[in-house]
Amino acid sequence: MSGQQSIMKFFGSK
């Protein structure tokens, strides 16, 4: 998907 960001970019690992 072009331009789709990942949720992991915003939420770091615990």
Binding site for another protein (CB under 8 A): 1-14
Q: How far is the CB of 9 from another protein (least distance, A)?
A: 7
CA dist 9 and 13 (Å) reads: 10
CA dist 14 and 11 (Å) reads: 9
Q: How far is the CB of 5 from another protein (least distance, A)?
A: 4
Q: How far is the CB of 1 from another protein (least distance, A)?
A: 7
